Amino acid sequence: MKFFDGHNDTLLRLSLYTRPDPERSFLDGRPDGHIDLPRAERGGMLGGLFALYAPSATGLSFDHFRGASYDCPLPPEVPIAVAQQIILKQISILLRIVAASEERVVLCRSVGEIRSTIAASGFAIVLHLEGAEAIDPDLHALDVLHAAGLRSLGPVWSRNNAFGGGVPMRFPSSPDAGPGLTAAGRELVRACNRLRILVDLSHLTEQGFWDVARLSHAPLVATHSNAHDICPSSRNLTDRQLDAIRDSDGLVGLNLATCFLRPDGQMLADTDLDVVVRHIDRLVERLSETRVGLGSDFDGAVVPDRIGSVAGAQAIFQALSARGYGDDILRKIAVENWLGVLARTIG
Ligand code: ZN
């Protein structure tokens, strides 16, 4: 089952490499991490949303997501000049990958371009910005990023910035864990609607979620979040939030980060795929089979060891198939739902 993915942090990983040629690591394969082109082809990945992301000076490690409960402090804010420098480097790496790929990798700006890339056996990348620290309050940088191909944006990552409050990584916890959008954040959402840039809800607080829901004319999309009913993490979506996403004809991308899958909230590779199936069951029940996709979080999280990397992604579809999901529903979850909501959003 070929699939399109809603979220990964591969460009961040490549930008942290000290080697001079991160683009060759992506095109030819690399010994670490989750996604490169050879493994994507083995795992049936057609492409996906690739995140630009500027880390804080002091970040969170996966060790923070352990213990019966945890409440990670919000990482420090990132100054705009720092964020812009990091994001320009990540865009440059992507452009170099595309240029060196001999048309195997394509930066896509519309669903038409995604479909034609896939039809020509290419790998379709849509540019996403995770946290808008690189954007000035007057939104000049948004115009430039849009011209460079940006088609999806989360106003915040799990920290605060000029546009709003990020949801802290907390377990167990309601997502109602801090302030929502600022006035600048509301302007950013309006501008994204105008430019047809998808607004990602995944790292917003619940207040921020409802701020976007009230304001946005576009379908509500959480690119990489799960069902709070099964894993009560602050990063997951309550039934009320899922209902709002359903009513807007939006989408939720299932996150493979084990701390957002497991009922005990732990970041542990030793996690059975049964819990992945439970989340899909729950999301399909609330949203219907047309509003659920994948949002792997590859290269940004510890995923179940049965999957391991994108090369093992077919284990997800095998588990769903064993549960009784037919190929027609699996094709929707794997690719058609993402292309449908992107068509309704970016065009
Ligand atoms: Zn994320």
**Which of 293, 303, 209, 312 is closest to 251 using CA atoms?**
293
Q: Which structure tokens are listed for 24?
A: 């060759």
Q: How far is the CA of 53 from the centre of ligand 1 (A)?
A: 9
pLDDT digits (tens, 9 = 90+) for 217-253: 999 999 999 999 999 999 999 999 999 999 999 999 9
Q: How far is the CA of 102 from the centre of ligand 1 (A)?
A: 30
The tally of CA atoms less than 13 A away on the side-chain side of residue 334 is 22
Q: Transcribe 45-61 into DSSP letters.
A: EEEEEEEE----SS---
pTM, to two decimals: 0.98
* pLDDT tier, 36 (very low <50, low <70, confident <90, very high otherwise): very high
Inform me whether the pLDDT recorded for 39 exceeds 80: yes
pLDDT digits (tens, 9 = 90+) for 61-97: 888 898 899 999 999 999 999 999 999 999 999 999 9
Q: Which structure tokens are listed for 149?
A: 């191909």
pLDDT digits (tens, 9 = 90+) for 256-287: 999 999 999 999 999 999 999 999 999 999 99
**Which of 161, 142, 137 is closest to 153 using CA atoms?**
142
The runs of H, that is alpha helices, within 123-182 are: 140-147
CATH code for position 236: 3.20.20.140
Domain extent, residue 134, equals 3-345
Confidence (pLDDT) at 61: 86
Beta carbons within 8 Å of 131's beta carbon, 6+ residues apart: 53, 54, 78, 83, 154, 155, 156, 157, 159, 161, 166, 203
Residue 129, classified by CB atoms within 10 Å of its CB into exposed (0-12), middle (13-18) or buried (19+), is buried
Q: Which structure tokens are listed for 256?
A: 């493979």
195-199: average pLDDT: 98
| Cα-based angle 223, 218, 167 (whole degrees, multiple of 5) | 45
22-49: average pLDDT: 97
Q: How far is the CA of 231 from the centre of ligand 1 (A)?
A: 16
* pLDDT tier, 19 (very low <50, low <70, confident <90, very high otherwise): confident
Q: How far is the CA of 203 from the centre of ligand 1 (A)?
A: 7
Q: How far is the CA of 147 from the centre of ligand 1 (A)?
A: 24
**Which of 288, 284, 304 is closest to 296 using CA atoms?**
304
Q: How far is the CA of 124 from the centre of ligand 1 (A)?
A: 20
CB atoms within 10 A of CB 20: 7
Rounded Cα gap, residues 34 and 21, in angstroms? 18
User: Structural domain tally of the chain?
Assistant: 1
Instruction: With beta carbons less than 8 A apart as the criterion, state whether 250 and 199 touch.
Output: no
Confidence (pLDDT) at 160: 98
Rounded Cα gap, residues 248 and 254, in angstroms? 18
Instruction: With beta carbons less than 8 A apart as the criterion, state whether 48 and 298 touch.
Output: no
Instruction: With beta carbons less than 8 A apart as the criterion, state whether 46 and 311 touch.
Output: no
Rounded Cα gap, residues 10 and 149, in angstroms? 17
pLDDT digits (tens, 9 = 90+) for 98-134: 999 999 999 999 999 999 999 999 999 999 999 999 9
Confidence (pLDDT) at 63: 85
Q: How far is the CA of 50 from the centre of ligand 1 (A)?
A: 11
